[in-house]
């Protein structure tokens, strides 16, 4: 085999390897980013739980008072939650407190889906990479639809 005939094979291998590595990088970044919030939702039974009553929303955060679900828990005058489309003044949201902070995350099904939104975006980006780099339409459509469904479900439940 001459060097001239080996080059197209190396280029094909390089394109495929690069596409797989980029797709994996996107997915790992999506999981990593999502897990920062999702861990507090998934393991919410180990966190202080209660209800946030939204008092004010500005920029990308909302603040309000926290009423603990446990009668022995300590009410908090002001806690902060990342703003989503579902919060408005007076809304009562089930939350869990991030340990050692006054930050809370939404719990339950809507909170679970909202926590994984970065993974949904990463799946959509990975679908483009897989479709273009591997030329695998079925895999790309499957990954893209999974990401899209996650984003739509999160939007619908908030």
Give yes or no for a contact between 41 and 106, defined as CB atoms under 8 angstroms apart: yes
Mean pLDDT over the full length of the chain = 90
List the structure tokens of 114: 């909202």
Higher pLDDT among residues 126 and 11, named by residue: 126
Could you tell me if 101 and 147 lie in one domain?
Answer: no
pLDDT value, residue 143: 96
Within a domain: residue 31? no
Could you tell me if 61 and 89 lie in one domain?
Answer: yes
Residue 96, domain extent: 42-107
The percentage of the chain sitting over the pLDDT mark of 90, rounded to a whole number, equals: 62
Within a domain: residue 129? yes
In tens, the pLDDT along 17-71 reads: 999 999 999 999 999 999 999 999 998 888 899 999 999 988 889 999 999 998 8
Within a domain: residue 96? yes
Count of domains for the chain: 2
Could you tell me if 74 and 127 lie in one domain?
Answer: no
- The Cα–Cα gap between 26 and 138 comes to 19
Could you tell me if 121 and 65 lie in one domain?
Answer: no
In tens, the pLDDT along 80-97 reads: 998 876 677 888 999 999
The set of residues, in sequence order, having a beta carbon less than 8 Å from that of 40 and lying 6+ positions away, is: 47, 96, 98, 105, 115
Furthest-apart CA atoms within the chain: distance in Å: 78
Within a domain: residue 126? yes
**The CATH number of the domain where 71 resides is what?**
2.40.50
pLDDT value, residue 84: 76
Whether the pLDDT of residue 113 is over 90: the answer is: yes
Could you tell me if 103 and 142 lie in one domain?
Answer: no
């Amino acid at each position: 085999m001459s060097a001239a005939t080996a080059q197209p094979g190396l280029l094909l291998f390089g394109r495929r390897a690069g596409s797989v590595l980029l797709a994996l990088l996107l997915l790992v970044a999506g999981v990593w980013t999502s897990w920062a919030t999702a861990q507090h939702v998934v393991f919410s039974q180990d966190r202080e739980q209660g209800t946030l009553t939204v008092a004010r929303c500005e920029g990308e955060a909302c603040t309000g008072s926290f009423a603990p679900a446990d009668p022995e828990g300590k009410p908090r005058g002001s806690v902060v939650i990342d703003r989503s489309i579902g919060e408005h003044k007076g809304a009562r949201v089930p939350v869990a407190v991030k340990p050692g902070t006054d930050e809370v995350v939404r719990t339950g099904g809507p909170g679970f889906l909202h926590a994984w939104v970065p993974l949904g975006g990463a799946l959509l980006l990975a679908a483009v990479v897989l479709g273009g780099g591997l030329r695998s339409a079925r895999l790309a459509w499957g990954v893209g639809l999974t990401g899209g469904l996650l984003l739509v479900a999160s939007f619908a439940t908030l």
